[in-house]
């Protein structure tokens, strides 16, 4: 059924292929001619279920198409030389959905983590992969697969791919505060002392993405115009781009248009 759905979608778009190819080449030349690309790209992968509903597919197929698209977008990032990408695949709110749906997602995460751990693109491009978020309630086989993927790519020096799974921005900030307080407590400092000297840099040092530049560009698909908790701390000076297309339908031209839009902006950092 998944194969049949793919065939139907390809046939639907076949008539536009020559024009699409020309336009994509035109956009790519424009983007590559510009000196500025995001150094840390954030991607909110939204709209998998709605894509499936509109296409008349089972809900689970929407996630399968979403996974295929994530692999495709990873390739686009590699081709353009974007050094850091963070993709949000599961929020802490998503974990509260129907248990059968969450169980299905967990099986997909385990499968894809194991696939990525042997993916020739990952190893050939020396991509370092990290899973960020809260995983303590994940099934053991999922955390094991994510851990194996991280370990196999830990020493790579190419692109950094953060997979935000079981992730929430508020939870990340709370975890950072807890970590800072615990560190200071071990050093023998009182809460009053810590509070008196607390600085934003102290919490930045405890974020899941510590040591990585904050995202300078964040793309969200599906037409929703909100962050929904994605990298709340790190996105204070990020540029945002909201795309109407559902994530599985996100095309290369959509990606290139977003990057061109970013390149046309003058970043002011609150000034």
- The answer to whether residue 188 is domain-embedded is no
Residue 10 banded pLDDT, cuts 50, 70, 90: low
141-169: per-residue pLDDT in tens? 999 999 999 999 999 999 999 999 999 99
Active-site pick, 94, 115, 125, 175: 94
SS3 per residue for the chain: CHHHHHHHHHHHHHHHHHHHHHHHHHHHHHHHHCCCCCCEEEEECCCHHHHHHHCCCCHHHHHHHHHHHHHHHHHHHHHHCCCEEEEEEEECCHHHCCHHHHHHHHHHHHHHHHHHHCCHHHHHCCCEEEEECCCCCCCHHHHHHHHHHHHHHCCCCCCEEEEEEEECHHHHHHHHHHHHHHHHHHCCCCHHHHHHHCCHHHHHCCCCCCCCCCCCEEEECCCCCCCCCCCCCCCCCCEEEECCCCHHHCCHHHHHHHHHHHHHCCCCCCC
- The answer to whether residue 194 is domain-embedded is no
Query: What pLDDT score does 17 carry?
Result: 76
Residue 125 annotated as catalytic: no
Residue 1 banded pLDDT, cuts 50, 70, 90: very low
193-220: per-residue pLDDT in tens? 999 999 999 999 999 999 999 999 999 9
Positions at the binding site for Mg(2+)? 46, 239
Positions at the binding site? 46-51, 59, 91-93, 97, 220, 226-228, 239
Residue 18 has pLDDT above 90, yes or no: no
- The answer to whether residue 102 is domain-embedded is yes
- The answer to whether residue 203 is domain-embedded is no
Residue 8 has pLDDT above 80, yes or no: no
Chain-centre distance for alpha carbon 12: 28
pLDDT above 70 coverage of the chain, percent: 93
Residue 80 has pLDDT above 90, yes or no: yes
Residue 6 banded pLDDT, cuts 50, 70, 90: low
| CATH code (residue 232) | 3.40.1180.10
Residue 241 has pLDDT above 50, yes or no: yes
Q: Which of 9-13, 39-43, 156-160 is least confident? A: 9-13
Residue 46 annotated as catalytic: yes
Query: What pLDDT score does 246 carry?
Result: 96
- The answer to whether residue 28 is domain-embedded is no
- The answer to whether residue 197 is domain-embedded is no
The mean of the pLDDT values for the chain is 92
Query: What pLDDT score does 16 carry?
Result: 61
pTM over 0.85: yes
In the chain, how many domains are there?
1
Query: What pLDDT score does 19 carry?
Result: 81
Active-site pick, 46, 119, 214, 216: 46
Give the domain extent around 125. Answer: 2-6+38-168+213-264
Positions at the binding site for substrate? 47-51, 59, 91-93, 97, 220, 226-228
- The answer to whether residue 192 is domain-embedded is no
Q: Which of 3-7, 30-34, 59-63, 185-189 is least confident? A: 3-7
- The answer to whether residue 179 is domain-embedded is no
């Amino acid at each position: 059924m998944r194969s049949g759905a793919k065939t139907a979608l390809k046939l639907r778009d076949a008539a536009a292929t020559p024009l699409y190819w020309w336009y994509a080449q035109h956009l790519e030349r424009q983007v590559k001619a510009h000196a500025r690309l995001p150094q840390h790209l954030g991607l909110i992968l939204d709209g998998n279920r709605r894509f499936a509903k509109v296409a008349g597919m089972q809900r689970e197929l929407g996630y399968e198409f979403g996974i295929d698209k994530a692999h495709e977008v990873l390739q686009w990032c590699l081709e353009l030389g974007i050094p850091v990408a963070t993709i949000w695949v599961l929020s802490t709110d998503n974990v509260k959905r129907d248990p059968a749906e969450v169980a299905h997602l967990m099986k997909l995460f385990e499968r894809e983590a194991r696939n990525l751990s042997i993916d020739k693109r990952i190893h050939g491009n020396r991509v370092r992969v990290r899973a960020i978020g809260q995983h303590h309630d994940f099934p053991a086989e999922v955390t094991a697969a994510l851990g194996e993927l991280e370990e196999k790519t830990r020493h790579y020096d190419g692109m950094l791919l953060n997979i935000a799974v079981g992730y929430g921005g508020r939870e990340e900030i709370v975890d950072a505060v807890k970590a800072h307080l615990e560190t200071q407590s071990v050093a023998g400092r009182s809460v009053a002392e810590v509070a008196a000297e607390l600085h934003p840099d102290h919490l930045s040092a405890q974020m899941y993405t510590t040591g990585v530049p904050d995202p300078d560009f964040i793309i969200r698909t599906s037409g929703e115009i909100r962050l929904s908790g994605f990298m709340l701390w790190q996105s204070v000076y990020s540029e945002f781009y909201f795309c109407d297309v559902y994530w599985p339908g996100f095309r290369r031209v959509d990606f290139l248009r977003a990057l061109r839009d970013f390149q046309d902006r003058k970043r002011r950092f609150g000034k």
